[in-house]
Structure 1
Amino acid sequence: MNKLQEYLNSHDLSEIHPSDIAKILKQLDDSEFVDALKFVPKDLIGDVALALPDRYFDDVVENLSVDELSYAVTELESDDQTDFMQELEELDESKASQVFETLDEDDKQEITKLKTYNEDEAGSYMQFEVFTALKSEKVQDVVRRFAILRKANEIENVQNLFITNKDNKLRFTIGLDDLLIFDFSKTINENIELSDDSFEPKLAVDTDDIKDIVQQFEEYDLSVLPIVNTYGVLLGRITSDDIYDIIQDEATEQMYNLAGVDDDAEEDDGILKAGRKRATWLSLNLLTAIAASLVIAMFSDTLESMVALAILMPIVASMGGNAGTQSLTVVVRQLALGEISQGDAKRIIKKEVSISLINGFIFAIIMAIVSALWFDMPLLGVVIALSMLINLFVAGFFGATIPLFLKKMDIDPAIGSTVILTTVTDVVGFFSFLGLATYILL
C-alpha cells in the first residue's frame, strides 16, 4: 500500500483537499506517481493536477483517457476549467480538442469566453459561478434557494450575495453574515432600507488590469470581488485563492528576474531551454565583467608597484555590490507592492543614499584602520576609506534610481537591474580605489 492509499483510507473523502493529495504525490518517484494516480478520486483529479507543479501535468494527462479528462474538467470551476484546458492544449492539442468536444455547451461557452481575455485582464481570472438575487425577493426565499444549490454542489466558496436588477446589473453586495441577521419575512430591498450599513459594492470591470485588482484585495482585505462589464452587468467574480496564486507568481517572477533567470523556462524540465535563457544573462554579465577588467587594466602599473592594492581591491567592489543589491531589492519590492507613488522618487533616492552613506562611513573607518595596520601604510587606509565611501554612495544612488527609471519606462524593474548595478559598482569601485591610489600613494 503506497502513501496516497494510506492517506485516503485514513481520511473521510469529503474532508480531503486536493493540495494534500498533491503534496503526497510530489514525494513519490516516477513509477510510484503513476501508480498512485489510480487512487486519486476522479472528482478531484482536475484540482490535483492544477495544484501540482507544471512538470507533473503531462504525467497526469498521459495516464488519463479522454473521458476521464472530460469528467475532471466538468468538476472544476469555470476559471480552473480554462486553466486546465489551456495547459492541456500546450501539451497535446489533439487531445485537448477531443476533451473540449465532449464538454456540455455551457462549459464550452464559458471556457471560450474566458480565453478571449488577455492574461493581464481581470476577466481572465474570474469564474462565472456566482449567487445572485433580486431586490424584490424575500430573504427566506433567497436562503432556501441558496441551501438547495449548496447541497447540490452547484455553488461553493460563497461569501457574498450579489443583488442585481432584472437586467443583471449589479446593485448591492451583501455578506452572508449580514444576510443572516436580516428580517427573513421582508424583501432584500426592505432590509437594505432599514439597515444603517452600506451595501454599495466594491467591483471591477472585466478589462481592468489584474495588478489593480490585486491591490484592491490587499487594501480592503477582500475575499471576493464581483466583475462587471462596461455597462455594469454582473459577469462573475474573482476569489482570494486566485489572488494568492497571482501574488505568488509575481513574487517568483521578480526573484527570477533579479537573478537573470526566466521563470517560464525554469518551470520546464528541459535542460537546454533553461540553459539557453541563463546563458543570455551570463553573456551580458561577461561583457560587464570585461568592462570592469578594462578599468583595472588602466592601472596595471599601479597594481604592479603595490601588491596590497590587489589584495584590498575586491573588498571595495564587493561592499558596493552588496549595498547596491540591498537598495535595489527594497525598491523593486516596494514598487511591486504599490508602496511607491510617482512623487516618491526623491524621497526613496534620498533615503537609500543616506543609508548607504551612513554604512559607508562606518565601514570606511573600519577598513581604514585594518588596512593601515595590516600593511603599515596610513595613506593606504585613507585611499580605501575614500573609495568605499564613494562606491557605497554610488551603490545607494543607482540601487534606487535604476528600478525607478525602468518602472517609468514601463519595464519590469527587476529585469536586468542587478546586471546594470553590478557593472556600475564594479567600475566605480575599481576606478575610485586604483585612481586614488595612483594619485595619493605614487
Structure 2
Amino acid sequence: MNQHVTPIEIDIDLSEELQAAVAAGDAVQLDSLLERLSLSEALRELLNLTVEERGSVLTLVSPEMAANLIEEAPHEVAADLMEGLETERAVEIMDELDSDVQADLIGDMEHEEAEAILSQMDAEEAADVRRLSEYEDDTAGGLMMSEVFACADTMTVSDVIKVLAKDDDDVDRYRGQHPYIIDGTGRLVGVVSLRGLLATKRAALLTTIMVEPKTVLANATLSDLGDIFDKFDFLGVPVVGDDGKVLGVVSRDAVSQALLERAESENLKLQGVVGDELRSMPTWLRSRRRLAWLSANIVLNMIAASVISAYEETLLAVIAIAVFLPMVSDMSGCSGNQAVGVTMRELSLGLVRPKDAFKVWLKEISVGVINGIALGILIGIVAWIWKGSPALGLVIGAALALNTMLAVSIGGVVPLLLKRIGQDPAVASGPLLTTVTDMAGFFFVLSLATLLMPWLV
C-alpha cells in the first residue's frame, strides 16, 4: 500500500466514501467518516454534495452530529439545510442546539417552515425561541442565549457544586458562565467566580461571596459588546431588562463570531457583492446580487468617460498622456480605499461617528498631502525619463498629487456622510470613491496638459 498519499487524494477518497455511504443509507459509516474530520472540514464535504445528498446526510447521522454541522454553517446556509428536512427531523436537531442558535435559524427560515418546526417543539422552548427572534440581530438580545446558570440567593456553595457535578445537557449549556445570583423577584443581584466557589466553605451562602455583576441591556449594540469583552476578561455577560431581571447571557464566542461576520459582510459590500454570498448558493441569486452594483457602475463610468471626451483634442495632440491616465486614477483610488478602510473599521468599533467628519478630514488631508507629494514626485520622474519630456512629468506628477489628496479626503469622509443620511457606507463608498477619483484624475491630467500644451508638443 502506498504510504505517501497526498492530501488531495485523501479528500477525493473521503468524498467518494461519503457519497457511497449516503447512497447505501449507512448511518453508522457516515457518522464514522464525519467524526474523522474537523467540523469545518465536515461542513465543506457536506456542501460539496448535492441538495438531496445533504438532506440524506443530516437525516442519517446522529442528531448531535447534524446539529454540530448546522451550527458550523453560515446562517443562510444553515436555514436552507434545515428547510430541506422533514419537520420531525428538524425538531430533533433543534433540540440539540442552544437557544441563540435556534432563534437565528428560525429568523432566517421561511415563515411557513419556521412555524411548522415551532409547532412541534416543546411549548415553553418554542415560546423562548419566538421571544429571542424578536430582537435585532446585532444586539445583546439577538446574540444572547436564554440558558442561564441562575442560582437562588438562598443557595449555598455546596448546592452549586452538586449542580455542576451533574452530567446532563442542561449543565453543558452553562459552559462559559459563572453562577448568577437571583433574588426572590428574579432580579440579578450578584455573580460568583468559580475560583471563589472552590475556595469557600461548602456551607457558606452564595450571597456572602458574590460580587456586583457587569450587565448589559437587551438593546446593547454589537460594538458595545465588543468593547466590553475587549476591556474585561469575561466569557459571558448577563443581559437584563429595565427591571433588572435576567433575560439571558451573551457569550464572548457569539460576539466574536458576529463581529467576524459583520467584517466579512462589509468587505463583500465594498467589492459590490450585496448580502452574504457562498458558492453553494443558486447561481441566479449570486448573479443578481453582483449585478446590482455592476449595473450602477456602468452609469458611473460613463460619467467619468465624459471627462475624457471633453478633452479629445488634447489627447490627440499628446497621445503619451493616455498611458498615464489609468495610473493616476488607480493609484489615487488605492490611497482613497485605504482611507475608506480605516473609517469603516473605526465606525464598526464605535471610534468615530458621522458628526466627526470634519475631524476625520483634517487627519486624512495631512496624510494625503504627504503621500500625494511623494507619489507625484516619483511618477513625475518616471514620466520624464520614460517619455523624455519634463513638462509631461510635471503634468502627471501634479495631477497624481492633487488627485491623491482629493481621494484620501473623500475616502475618509464619505462613509461618515453616507451613514448620516441613512445609507450603507459599506455598499456605496467604493463605487462613489472610484467614480470621483476617475473623474478628478482625468480632469487634473487633461486640464494641466491643456495649460502646458506649448511645452508638450
Identify if the C-alpha distance between structure 1 residues 218 and 27 changes in structure 2 by more than 3 Å, giving closer, same or farther. farther
The one-letter amino acid paired with 2:329 is A
CA contact (8 A) 1:22 1:51 kept: yes
Residue 306 (1) aligns with residue 318 (2) = yes
What pairs with 1:11-160 in structure 2 (closer than 5 Å)?
21-26=42-47, 28=49, 33=54, 36-53=57-74, 54-55=76-77, 57-59=79-81, 61-62=83-84, 64-89=85-110, 93=112, 95-148=113-166, 151-156=167-172, 157-160=175-178
- Distance in 2 between residues matched to 1:217 and 1:18, nearest whole Å: 26
The one-letter amino acid paired with 2:95 is T
Identify if the C-alpha distance between structure 1 residues 175 and 27 changes in structure 2 by more than 3 Å, giving closer, same or farther. farther
The answer for the alignment partner of 2:5 in structure 1 is none
CA contact (8 A) 1:204 1:227 kept: yes
- Distance in 2 between residues matched to 1:302 and 1:10, nearest whole Å: 68
Range 361-370 or range 296-305, more displaced: 361-370
Identify if the C-alpha distance between structure 1 residues 50 and 75 changes in structure 2 by more than 3 Å, giving closer, same or farther. same
The answer for the alignment partner of 1:173 in structure 2 is 191
Identify if the C-alpha distance between structure 1 residues 105 and 179 changes in structure 2 by more than 3 Å, giving closer, same or farther. same
Identify if the C-alpha distance between structure 1 residues 55 and 124 changes in structure 2 by more than 3 Å, giving closer, same or farther. closer
- Distance in 2 between residues matched to 1:304 and 1:427, nearest whole Å: 19
Question: Offset at 1:362?
Answer: 2.2
Identify if the C-alpha distance between structure 1 residues 363 and 6 changes in structure 2 by more than 3 Å, giving closer, same or farther. farther
State TM-score, norm by structure 1.
Answer: 0.87
Deviations 1:308-356 (A, max 9, x none): 1112222211111111111111221222122336775455333332333
Identify if the C-alpha distance between structure 1 residues 297 and 88 changes in structure 2 by more than 3 Å, giving closer, same or farther. closer
The answer for the alignment partner of 1:333 in structure 2 is 345
- Distance in 1 between residues matched to 2:384 and 2:362, nearest whole Å: 32
State TM-score, norm by structure 2.
Answer: 0.84
The answer for the alignment partner of 1:436 in structure 2 is 448
Question: Offset at 1:126?
Answer: 1.8
Deviations 1:183-232 (A, max 9, x none): 2221122234xxxxxx2211111233344223322332431110111100
- Distance in 2 between residues matched to 1:55 and 1:130, nearest whole Å: 28
CA contact (8 A) 1:18 1:48 kept: yes
CA contact (8 A) 2:135 2:142 kept: yes
Q: 2:410 aligns with which of 398, 406, 424?
A: 398
SS in 1 for 2:179: strand
What pairs with 1:208-357 in structure 2 (closer than 5 Å)?
208-264=220-276, 269-340=281-352, 345-357=357-369
Identify if the C-alpha distance between structure 1 residues 237 and 39 changes in structure 2 by more than 3 Å, giving closer, same or farther. same
Q: 2:421 aligns with which of 406, 409, 416?
A: 409
SS in 2 for 1:414: helix
CA contact (8 A) 2:223 2:348 kept: no
SS in 2 for 1:339: coil
CA contact (8 A) 1:44 1:75 kept: no
Identify if the C-alpha distance between structure 1 residues 410 and 216 changes in structure 2 by more than 3 Å, giving closer, same or farther. farther
Question: Offset at 1:59?
Answer: 4.7
- Distance in 2 between residues matched to 1:36 and 1:119, nearest whole Å: 29
Question: Offset at 1:387?
Answer: 0.9
SS in 1 for 2:192: strand
RMSD: 2.8
Deviations 1:407-436 (A, max 9, x none): 333433222101111111111111111111
- Distance in 2 between residues matched to 1:56 and 1:188, nearest whole Å: 41
CA contact (8 A) 1:159 1:176 kept: no
The answer for the alignment partner of 1:202 in structure 2 is 214
CA contact (8 A) 2:78 2:105 kept: no
- Distance in 1 between residues matched to 2:38 and 2:250, nearest whole Å: 20
The one-letter amino acid paired with 1:133 is C
CA contact (8 A) 1:159 1:175 kept: no
- Distance in 1 between residues matched to 2:361 and 2:67, nearest whole Å: 48
- Distance in 2 between residues matched to 1:106 and 1:19, nearest whole Å: 32
Identify if the C-alpha distance between structure 1 residues 183 and 270 changes in structure 2 by more than 3 Å, giving closer, same or farther. same
Identify if the C-alpha distance between structure 1 residues 240 and 264 changes in structure 2 by more than 3 Å, giving closer, same or farther. same
- Distance in 2 between residues matched to 1:242 and 1:184, nearest whole Å: 33
SS in 2 for 1:171: strand
CA contact (8 A) 1:129 1:155 kept: no
Question: Offset at 1:295?
Answer: 1.1
- Distance in 1 between residues matched to 2:114 and 2:425, nearest whole Å: 37
The one-letter amino acid paired with 2:170 is E
CA contact (8 A) 1:268 1:274 kept: no
Deviations 1:142-181 (A, max 9, x none): 2112323xx1221321431101111110111222223222
- Distance in 2 between residues matched to 1:6 and 1:358, nearest whole Å: 64
The answer for the alignment partner of 1:196 in structure 2 is none
The one-letter amino acid paired with 1:287 is V
CA contact (8 A) 2:59 2:89 kept: no
The one-letter amino acid paired with 1:81 is Q
SS in 1 for 2:170: coil
Range 128-137 or range 348-357, more displaced: 348-357
CA contact (8 A) 2:270 2:428 kept: yes
Range 23-32 or range 219-228, more displaced: 23-32
What pairs with 1:346-385 in structure 2 (closer than 5 Å)?
346-385=358-397
The one-letter amino acid paired with 1:372 is W
- Distance in 2 between residues matched to 1:67 and 1:147, nearest whole Å: 32
The one-letter amino acid paired with 1:368 is G
CA contact (8 A) 2:372 2:405 kept: yes
SS in 1 for 2:414: helix
- Distance in 2 between residues matched to 1:20 and 1:202, nearest whole Å: 37
SS in 2 for 1:365: helix
- Distance in 1 between residues matched to 2:231 and 2:118, nearest whole Å: 38
Range 362-371 or range 423-432, more displaced: 362-371
The one-letter amino acid paired with 2:68 is D
